[in-house]
Amino acid sequence: MSRLAADTLLPVDTTLAVALAVLLIAATAVVAVFRLSPDGSHRRTREILTAGVRAAAQLAAVSLVVGVAVRHTAALLGFLFLMSAVATRTAGRRITPNHTWWWAALPIAAPVAPVVVGLVLAGLLTVPGIAIVPVTGILIGGALTATVLAGRRALDELTQRHGEVEAGLALGLPERDARLEVSRGAASDALLPALDQTRTVGLVTLPGAFVGMLLAGASPLLAGAVQVFVLIALLAVEALAVALTVELVARRRLHRDAAREPARRPALRLRPPPFRRTRT
């Protein structure tokens, strides 16, 4: 019965392929016409087109891999590690082009790992098992989004308000505290998507976990309980991801071009003038 419901909702056939192609072309055309790129070029157009094609190819490959991974613990752990590594690379490169991008692994892995381990120890998730893959993927995706938004907003704020950081240093604040005071408020905006999604769930949107469980034959009450758990877990994961990202930025572990960001200036040392012998 649930399979028939899923096929009726979104049949996988030629019509679906054509609809996906039309939507991707429409998105690409809008970005191209209105030049929705940071520098007004067509770079974002290529990114959208590439992202759509990659999504189709990657999901096709993942559909084959997950069937094997959920039956073998080693394969499952390897797949979860791959998810985390890809998220780290994606988030880090969105934040900074230099070698510090790998620090993005901390705000992505540190919030997600304890939650997943706790769910496994509590018996809510089983290893191996199919449920651990989507749950972990949702949490990693939330951490990725929060890390990118927090990191970019924090570093942009430090660049624009570098004078305030220097003023804090002049007043005697440690460099970490001066950078934290400037970047923390802007980085907190990274929590807005998760907050808005949680506040409007059921009224504006029906998230994927809720719809997926309904199509699988679960009762609306059970689907709603699982969705509430996912939303609350996302809030916890993203809050910690933002906090860790801000801390990394404040301590200059995660940064961009050092020449563009304020740094502590060395104290000036006055040297005595060279001794000159005068003739009498």
Q: Which residue has the higher pLDDT, 181 or 264?
A: 181
The mean pLDDT value for 69-82 works out to: 85
The mean pLDDT value for 84-112 works out to: 95
pTM comes to 0.79
Q: What is the pLDDT of residue 274?
A: 58
Q: How confident is the model at residue 276 (pLDDT cuts 50, 70, 90)?
A: low
d(CA 255, CA 124): 38
Q: Which residue has the higher pLDDT, 13 or 275?
A: 13
Q: What is the pLDDT of residue 208?
A: 73
Q: How confident is the model at residue 132 (pLDDT cuts 50, 70, 90)?
A: confident
> What would the pLDDT profile of 139-150 be if each residue is shown by its tens digit?
999 999 999 999
Q: What is the pLDDT of residue 64?
A: 79
Q: What is the pLDDT of residue 212?
A: 73
- Would you say residue 35 has pLDDT above 90? no
Q: Nearest to residue 165, comparing CAs of 153, 147, 152, 179?
A: 179
Q: How confident is the model at residue 62 (pLDDT cuts 50, 70, 90)?
A: confident
Q: What is the pLDDT of residue 202?
A: 80
Q: Is 280 helix (H, G, I), strand (E, B) or coil?
A: coil
One DSSP character per residue, 136-181 reads: HHHHHHHHHHHHHHHHHHHHHHHHHTHHHHHHHHHTT--HHHHHHH
d(CA 36, CA 53): 20
Number of residues written out for the chain: 280
Q: What is the pLDDT of residue 2?
A: 46
d(CA 10, CA 264): 58
The mean pLDDT value for 117-137 works out to: 85
Q: Which residue has the higher pLDDT, 216 or 38?
A: 38
Q: What is the pLDDT of residue 223?
A: 80
Q: What is the pLDDT of residue 53?
A: 92
Residue 108 neighbours by CB distance under 10 Å: 30
> What would the pLDDT profile of 155-204 be if each residue is shown by its tens digit?
999 999 999 999 999 999 999 999 999 999 999 999 999 999 889 888 87
Q: What is the pLDDT of residue 271?
A: 54
The mean pLDDT value for 109-133 works out to: 88
The mean pLDDT value for 206-218 works out to: 73
Q: Can you tell me which residue has the tokens 């719809």?
A: 211
- Would you say residue 275 has pLDDT above 60? no
- Would you say residue 259 has pLDDT above 50? no
**CB under 8 Å to 209, separation ≥6 — which residues?**
134, 138, 223, 226, 227, 230
The mean pLDDT value for 115-129 works out to: 86
* Cβ atoms of 207 and 227 closer than 8 Å: yes
